[in-house]
Amino acid sequence: MKRKLMLRRISFASMRIIVSVLFVATAIGSLAETFTTIVTFNGTNGRSPGYGPLVQGRDGNLYGTTEIGGLYDAGTLFQLNPVTDALTTIYNFCNPQTNCADGGSRAAGVILGIDGSFYGTTMAGGDLNCDPQVGCGTVFKMTSKGVLTTLYTFTGNGDGFTPVAPLVQATDGSFYGTTGQESGTVFKVTPSGKFKTLHVFQYPEGNSLFGGLMQATDGNFYGTSHIGGTGNDPHCSSNGCGTVFKVTPKGKLTTLYSFDFTDGAFPVAGLLQASDGNLYGTTDGGGSGSYYGTIFSLDLGFGPFVQATTYSGKVGATVEFLGQGFIKSSMVSFNGTPATPTVRSGTYLTVEVPAGATTGPVTITTSMGTLESNKIFRVIP
């Protein structure tokens, strides 16, 4: 049966519902707002933290990157202790002693791998033969102690260059990403550094991949291209207004939607699969009337699911889940080991990882039936 595919712009009222579902965990239990500036970067400890969010390591500290600044003015990876508010620079990129082979200019932050290390890309550095002035970028692994391993160095010869977006670790344990400038690509790299270019974009497929990939519940990856597609509005020029695409783990690409300016144009951010199964995203421009951008959804016929705010934890750790149809009698199972949750609302509950739990899917009974998590939950020893 052919799956339903529909893109629609989201009204303000609908947007409020989406936001309340996705971020209700932030609001619950928060009776007062307290804003605190913890660190002001001064250049020496980094400058311009870039576009990526902070991530929390297994040690409880927060980790992030700066795009420039630091010892060599090419960016840093830093650690923030949330108890003492102490900032520690654990790595300075673009070491001149290695001719910047370690990479430089990290804009999209890092992600926490299932092994407890951090993984990311640099936009510059690496192989200066690719670009004598700035290089073409790298994929790296970093420990919480600041030990860096370069997993791959881009050459610009069919593998792309200047990766901008964050990586995503897929269910197979490998990392998938994109290169963001002309001749954009989708690539795969294993934790041991085995690299493969999965797809090289050609017009009208799209180009300029800034938002990264998202692995949906069907196992495929979804993303947006800033330009490209078949949209023919005069505002799009000959390059198109951007696309929404699907790419399989083997690299087969399908263009799902081409923007035509009145429905949005030039997406920069990636996509989110919400617990209703639909994909949601934004465009940086276009839209009817104001031309100031849009919020859209794409219905591919996926069913609803539940999602955790984190997908790893030790026995006894409290895990938050978002979804729909949660009721007082809802029960949670960690790969077959039952646990009794605290249901905060119809879309939000918390539960402790039970003794005996093992790595695997999480299921939750709801008023809609039993729903499964969109990712595997890994129980940390």
Q: What is the pLDDT of residues 85-133, one digit of tens each?
A: 999 999 999 988 888 899 888 778 899 888 889 999 998 888 878 776 6
Q: Which residue has the tokens 């409880």?
A: 60
What pLDDT does 9 receive? 63
Write out pLDDT tens, residues 263-287: 999 999 999 988 888 999 999 999 9
pLDDT at 10: 61
Nearest CA among 334, 5, 224 for reference residue 321: 334
* pLDDT tens, position by position, 326-363: 999 999 999 999 999 999 998 899 999 999 999 999 99
Q: For strands 312-313 and 175-179, give the pairing.
A: unpaired
Residue type, 353: V
What confidence score (pLDDT) does residue 8 get? 65
Q: What is the 3-state secondary structure (H, E, C) of the chain?
A: CCCCCEEEECCHHHHHHHHHHHHHHHHCCCCCCCCCCCCCCCECCEECCCCCCCEECCCCCEEEEECECCCCCCCEEEEECCCCCCEEEEEECCCHHHCCCCCECCCCCCEECCCCCEEEEECEECCCCCCCCCECCEEEEECCCCCEEEEEECCCCCCCCCCCCCCEECCCCCEEEEECCCCCEEEEECCCCCEEEEEECCCCCCECCCCCCEECCCCCEEEEECECCCCCCHHHHHHCCCEEEEECCCCCEEEEEECCECCEECCCCCCEECCCCCEEEEECEECCCCCECEEEEEECCCCCCEEECCCEECCCCEEEEECCCCCCCCCEEECCEEECCEEEECCEEEEECCCCCCCECEEEEECCEEEEECCCEEECC
Q: Which of 37, 93, 24, 82 is closest to 56 using CA atoms?
A: 82
What's the pTM?
0.83
Task: Give the pLDDT of residue 118.
Answer: 94
Phi, psi of 39 (to 5 degrees): -135, 135
How do 253-258 and 279-283 pair as beta strands? unpaired
Q: Which CATH architecture has domain 307-379?
A: Sandwich (2.60)
Query: How many of the other CB atoms lie within 10 Å of CB of 204?
Result: 18
Which of these, 99, 59, 52, lies nearest to 76 by C-alpha position? 52
pLDDT (tens digit per residue) in 35-81: 999 999 999 999 998 777 888 888 889 999 999 999 999 999 999 99
Task: Determine the CATH number of domain 6-299.
Answer: 2.130.10
Residue entry with tokens 């108890």: 83
Structural tokens at position 93: 């990129």
Prior bond to 96 cis, omega within 30? no
What's the confidence (pLDDT) of residue 21? 44
Domain boundaries, the chain: 6-299, 307-379
Instruction: Report pLDDT for 73.
Output: 92
